Amino acid sequence: MPPGDGHPALQVLEGGASNSRLSDTGVAYAGSGFDTVRLRFRRQEGAYYQARVAHAALHARGELRRTAGGITIGAYPDGLVTVEGRLAALLYGEDDHRLLGADDFGRAPQAAADLFGLDLDAEPVGVGRADLASELRFADGREGHEFLRALSYVDLPWLKVGTEGGKRDGLETVYHRNVRGRSVALRCYDKGIESETCAPGTWLRLERQRRWRKEREPTVDDVIARGLAEEFVGRELRAVVAGDDAVTVCDPPAAADRLRELYVQEAITGDALHRLGAFVWFGPEGLHPRTAQRRAAELRRLGLALNPQEGGRTTVAVGEYLKAFAAAWAA
pLDDT at res. 182: 76
Domain boundaries, the chain: 252-306
pLDDT at res. 8: 34
pLDDT level of residue 16 (50, 70, 90 thresholds)? very low
pLDDT tens-place string over residues 255-270: 999 999 999 999 999 9
Work out the average pLDDT over 138-158. 86
Query: Angle CA(260)–CA(265)–CA(266) in degrees, nearest 5?
Result: 95
Helix, strand, coil proportions of the chain in percent (round to 5)?
A: 35, 25, 35
222 contacts 125 by C-beta, under 8 angstroms: no
pLDDT tens-place string over residues 76-131: 999 999 999 999 999 999 999 999 999 999 999 999 999 999 999 999 999 999 99
pLDDT at res. 31: 87
Lowest model confidence (mean pLDDT) among 1-10, 189-198, 220-229, 300-309: 1-10
Is it the case that residue 1 has pLDDT exceeding 50? no
Let me know if 270 is exposed, middle or buried by CB neighbors in 10 A (0-12, 13-18, 19+).
Answer: exposed
Q: Within its chain, how far is the Cα of 250 from the centroid?
A: 25
Query: Angle CA(271)–CA(273)–CA(278) in degrees, nearest 5?
Result: 100
Comparing CA positions, the residue from 187, 190, 184 lying closest to residue 206 is 187
Work out the average pLDDT over 169-187. 84
Whole-angstrom Cα distance, residue 208 to residue 195? 19
pLDDT at res. 23: 52
Is it the case that residue 276 has pLDDT exceeding 60? yes
State the pTM of this model. Answer: 0.79
Work out the average pLDDT over 239-244. 75
pLDDT at res. 95: 92
